[in-house]
Amino acid sequence: MPPSGTLTVVSTKDRSVVLASLPVVAARHPWRWVGVAAVLVLAAQFVHGLVTNPAWDWPTFARYFTAQSILTAVGTTILLTVLGTVLGFALGIVVAVLRLSKSPFLQAVGWTYVWAFRSIPLIVQLLFWFNISYLYQRLSLGIPFGPEFVSFETVELISPMGAAVLGLALHQAAYAAEIVRSGVISVDRGQLEAAAALGIPKFRQFRRIVLPQAMRAILPNAANEVISLFKGTSVVSVMAIGELFYQVQVIYGRNARVVALLMVATVWYIILTTLLSIGQHYVERYFARGDRR
Amino acid sequence: MIEVLGVHKSFGSNEVLRGVSLDVAAGEVVVVLGPSGSGKSTLLRTINHLEKVDRGFVSIDGDLVGYRQHKGKLHELKEREILKQRRHIGFVFQNFNLFPHLTALENIAEVAPLADARQFLARVGLADKEDSYPRQLSGGQQQRVAIARALATRPKVVLFDEPTSALDPELVGEVLDVLRDLARTGTTMIVVTHEIGFAREVADRIVFIDQGVIVEQGTPAEVLDHPAHERTRAFLSKVL
Ligand SMILES: Nc1ncnc2c1ncn2[C@@H]1O[C@H](COP(=O)(O)OP(=O)(O)OP(=O)(O)O)[C@@H](O)[C@H]1O
Ligand SMILES: [Mg+2]
């Protein structure tokens, strides 16, 4: 037995046997547990408050949460979101393509669109479309500065709902254009060169090669936009359209149960945003398919 | 088959190609050698019009690349027509440029019917990898898929820009095997490479480029063993 403090020469084999026989102690993180405990206490307090404080007025909440008028309003909110998203992104892709084109004129058109619609506050734009019939009583098709072929009363052509969809879509398109453009310029140049070298037609290059890869960068931002549009539809309540937020205002205007009804709207917004986030997860996974090993 | 006539190309004030002329016969294998920055990639890229020439002409099988001759004038072709022309010119990139979101088979099927795509994949020995995404393949396998994809439009000529330079040494061989096989079966090709051994064995002709001009060309024996020019000798002494 060598005295302690002197070196013992052990062969590698013996050494690995010795190491393998030692028990392993996992690294401990005591402060994590302190953090978890603190968060749990706060959460419990919050839930306790929600349940026991009568001011939250849960019976009223329960009465209205699935009331027909609320469900209809939720439907209108979803419809506005879907139309705003679909039309907004469709126009946004066109504007992005303009901004990415080789023609300086088209670039300028795209840039101006984005500049204009990002500059005007959504609520101002909505009120403008809502009131457009004061500005132009009649809309007509014809030769510019020449004879007209057909004409419409503006009020008939643009209903409040139409004005809301138009406003949301035009506003959304400006943001969608920038999101799409950022995705497209993130695609490696070599991909475009390979597609060009293979003689793949231009539109097909965009649809089959560029866009699917750009989607990786587009999706998280697009999901943000859709969710913010979804809640942003509450802005159209200024136009007296029966979407969710307008509807709860109408109801609490009658019965003064403000908190309970705001909670009705809030919980619906949370539920639908959650569904959108889950959808986002799966769509992102689909577009990451070449990335999995 | 390929005719390059007095091609000039500058990037800003940097004249990269200074009057390059080159004729490649059908079935011929031409290997292009030259130091870094001498204009080898630029030459290949002007042949399939990825770069527009400043002066000079390129034609494939008698057709001008990028222009149409009509009533004593040259009309620049529209992008759509240039894309059609490119289907006659295969191009293999140094860094493969496979489409990462498509499987090996889908990469090829993007430019050819599915049954053909399978055949081309089998031809480079990767029939069992058709459902793999590029990221799941080794560098050598990726380059072989890229070669199959370049062949899938049934081009009249195939251009290779340093097809093995991005590969680990042990993977170079499998790609060169594919090139050898193509050469043997009569594919017209121009290969830019630093693999001198491969050039000696496969090339019908070696072209040495330096500073944007063709310094000399000839059979591998002539250029590699008895170079006529000082610059060729200097280059070969570094790479051999
Ligand atoms: N798109 C471009 N813009 C500006 N300069 C360029 C461009 N492409 C190439 N060049 C320049 O042209 C010259 C020739 O480049 P090229 O890529 O043809 O050389 P190479 O012979 O292929 O070299 P290597 O062996 O390193 O690939 C270089 O000086 C390079 O910097
Ligand atoms: Mg190069």
pLDDT in tens, A76-111: 999 999 999 999 999 999 999 999 998 999 999 999
Amino acid identity at A173: A
In degrees, rounded to 5, the angle at the alpha carbon of residue B47 between the alpha carbons of residues B41 and B49 is 100
Closest residue CA from atom 30 of ligand 1 = B37
CA end-to-end span of chain A: 53
Tokens 């870094």 label which residue?
B36
Chain B within 8 Å of A200 (Cβ-Cβ)? Answer: yes
In degrees, rounded to 5, the angle at the alpha carbon of residue A25 between the alpha carbons of residues A20 and A30 is 165
Query: What is the bridge-based pairing of β-strands B89-92 and B157-161?
Result: parallel
Chain B within 8 Å of A198 (Cβ-Cβ)? Answer: yes
In the prediction, which pLDDT does A130 show?
A: 84
| Residue A252 CA: distances (Å) to CA of A60, A212, A238 | 11, 46, 16
Regions of chain A with pLDDT less than 70: 1-11, 154-157, 292-293
Segment (H or E) for A32: helix A30-52
Distance between CA B70 and CA B211 in Å, rounded?
35
Query: Which of A277, A62, A261, A83 minimizes the C-alpha distance to A170?
Result: A83
Distance between CA B120 and CA B105 in Å, rounded?
9
Order of strands across the sheet that contains B188-192: B89-92, B157-161, B188-192, B29-33, B205-210, B213-218
- CB of A200 within 8 A of CB of B111? yes
Q: Check pocket membership of B39 for ligand 1, CB cut-off 6 A.
A: yes
Query: Which of A40, A101, A65 minimizes the C-alpha distance to A248?
Result: A65
**Count of A–B CB contacts within 8 Å?**
70
| Residue A198 CA: distances (Å) to CA of A131, A286, B109, B151, B154 | 52, 26, 12, 10, 11
The DSSP annotation for B2-14 comes to: EEEEEEEEEETTE
Query: What is the bridge-based pairing of β-strands A148-153 and A138-142?
Result: antiparallel
Would you call A203 exposed, middle or buried from its count of C-beta atoms within 10 A (0-12, 13-18, 19+)? Answer: exposed
pLDDT tens by residue, chain B, 240 residues: 999 999 999 999 999 999 999 999 999 999 999 999 999 999 999 999 999 999 999 999 988 998 888 888 888 899 899 999 999 999 999 999 999 999 999 999 999 999 999 999 999 999 999 999 999 999 999 999 999 999 999 999 999 999 999 999 999 999 999 999 999 999 999 999 999 999 999 999 999 999 999 999 999 999 999 999 999 999 999 887
Closest residue CA from atom 17 of ligand 1 = B41
